[in-house]
Structure 1
Amino acid sequence: MKKANEGADVIALSQKRVNCHGCDAGELCLPNGLKEDDLLALEHVVRRRRSLAKGQTLYRMGDPLLSLYAVRRGSVKTNLLTQDGRVQVTAFYLPGELIGVDAIDEGRFPCDAVALEETELCEIPWADLNHLAGRTPALNQQLVRLMSREIVRDEELLMMLGHLGAEARLAACLLNFNARYKRLGALEDRFTLSMSRQDLGDYLGLALETVSRFFTRLHDEGLLEVQGRDVRVLDASRLRAMVSQPNGRRGLRA
């Protein structure tokens, strides 16, 4: 079995150390809340991974956990094949978010990770990070917080697939993206989706045609302004109302 840093379609890692002080995503990532000495220690173990091209693989399902990866720029999806052969996207990762936490328990990655666009990540060797966290309470607390975020993400996906109607799934997904992009500094409830409609369908358990139809419907009903992958949330309260209803239709005109 190939390791995560081997193979023609997995790019090599740069050994250059990073400067967490100057990272725009630092307030959302591992450095958040660390004292100066602890931050310098973290910078010593973090390495930069540059120019992961769109569609390029970061790691594959079954690869051993050697490192975690923090997104500096761009975005990444994780996906796996279900028993019936369908692609299930399990998560989308934006700047400041940590990829690979779901491999800590078993020591192997449970899914593939693929760049949605040109992406820059920081490689964080797991053995070094685990050792540093053991003697740095603030870093250990931040790592636990990020692991908790991953658990919540999994629970949200299960809730969407198991309890929400089709339109409500899309509404919940868009509200989630809106909140995450706001943490990154987005203004006026505007953001650009880096993933395709097919990726969204594979995440929400919906056909491509269904996702496209619901985008059009939400646009026509005045809840969203949609131009290609550019989205502006016009009526977040009605989107939230859709999510709160089992049939996912509240707030839309008949």
Structure 2
Amino acid sequence: MPDPREGAVLDAALFEAVRRKMPIVHCITNYVAMNYAANLTLAVGASPAMVHAVEEVEEFAGIADTLTVNIGTLSRDWLAAMLKAAAAARAMGKPWVLDPVAHQATGFRREAVRALLAQRPAIIRGNASEILALDERDSRGKGIDSRDGVDEAVDSAIALARRHGAVVAVTGPVDVVTDGDRSLRFHGGSALMPQVTAMGCAQTCVMGALLAVSAGEPLRAAAAALGLFKQAGERAGRAADGPGSFAYRFIDEVHRQSGAGAAA
């Protein structure tokens, strides 16, 4: 696995595998994130599919290479689809990623995440407040906003990884990812990243693309996505005039840094 320090070389082999296989990523994500998440998944060379109807998610699990579930705009029907999709993916041996957006905000969300965790995601990705709350620790998070520092959530991430047999990624100014035994940190990015809607949601979909080709190495897949976003964010931030120009420059940098731009 490449050294995760700022400016380190990205996992070129894993990104090349995405471009070669062009995995279909079944993205059950929120209304706000769909367009941006799809564009960033395309930017690394994968094929996003925003399929969320409860009537078809089980069948589509047989077509997709991997699944990502984001509970940002949760409803009862969407939860039913998420659970069916996760169960089908698990039954077929296809790994999946859980993004428990603001799960601590309401009882409905807490119950939804408990049910989804029972389907054993390979990767759990969230901000520090979400990860702390998932470990049933006190959190200062308000809605989707994290009010806690990443360092405060590291012990919870390790505990969750061991408890659920999953890789846990904590995102923030410095990202941390752990499988319960090994932990990596990622520096870089831009202060503009939190000002662009769906940045984290899109990263979940990109993690899914990398997970599909990681040959059973979810830590490697999560680390590759974190490193890519930090590096692309840093480079896009240098040229951006504000969050609007950053958003499109970031897609271009993800395309370039993942190697997809060179292949286009």
Band of TM-score, shorter chain: under 0.3
Q: Which has the higher helix share?
A: 2
